[in-house]
């Protein structure tokens, strides 16, 4: 599951998640507030899923993963 997750997001987004996780390893109100503001100001979107064409000319169904849904973290924490 983690490999699939890692493939769906650009490296800078994954680094941001890791940095936030590290900062929140010692949670306090100021750290949480800072990280919530930082995460809410960023846009996180998934990379498009690869579209592979069928080699045997049969009908091909192309799908895309649903983008991750992020709630407003400030409302959740408050």
Q: Where are the domains of the chain?
A: 1-40
pLDDT band at 13, cuts 50/70/90?
Answer: confident
Query: Does 49 have pLDDT greater than 80?
Result: no
What does the pLDDT look like over 26-38, one tens digit per residue? 889 999 999 888 8
Predicted pLDDT of residue 54: 54
Q: Answer whether 46's CB lies under 8 Å from 8's CB.
A: yes
CA neighbours within 13 Å on the CB side: how many for 56?
A: 2
Helices (H), 1-78: 2-8, 11-23, 29-41, 73-77
Q: What are the tens digits of pLDDT across the range 50-78?
A: 555 555 556 656 666 666 666 665 665 55
Task: Tell me, yes or no, if the pTM score tops 0.75.
Answer: no
């Amino acid at each position: 599951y983690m490999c699939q997750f890692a493939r769906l997001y650009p490296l800078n987004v994954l680094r941001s998640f890791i940095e936030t996780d590290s900062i929140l390893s010692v949670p306090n109100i100021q750290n949480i507030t800072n990280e919530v503001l930082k995460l809410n100001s960023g846009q996180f979107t998934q990379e498009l899923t690869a579209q592979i064409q069928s080699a045997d000319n049969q009908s091909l169904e192309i799908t895309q993963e649903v983008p991750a849904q992020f709630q407003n973290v400030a409302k959740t924490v408050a």
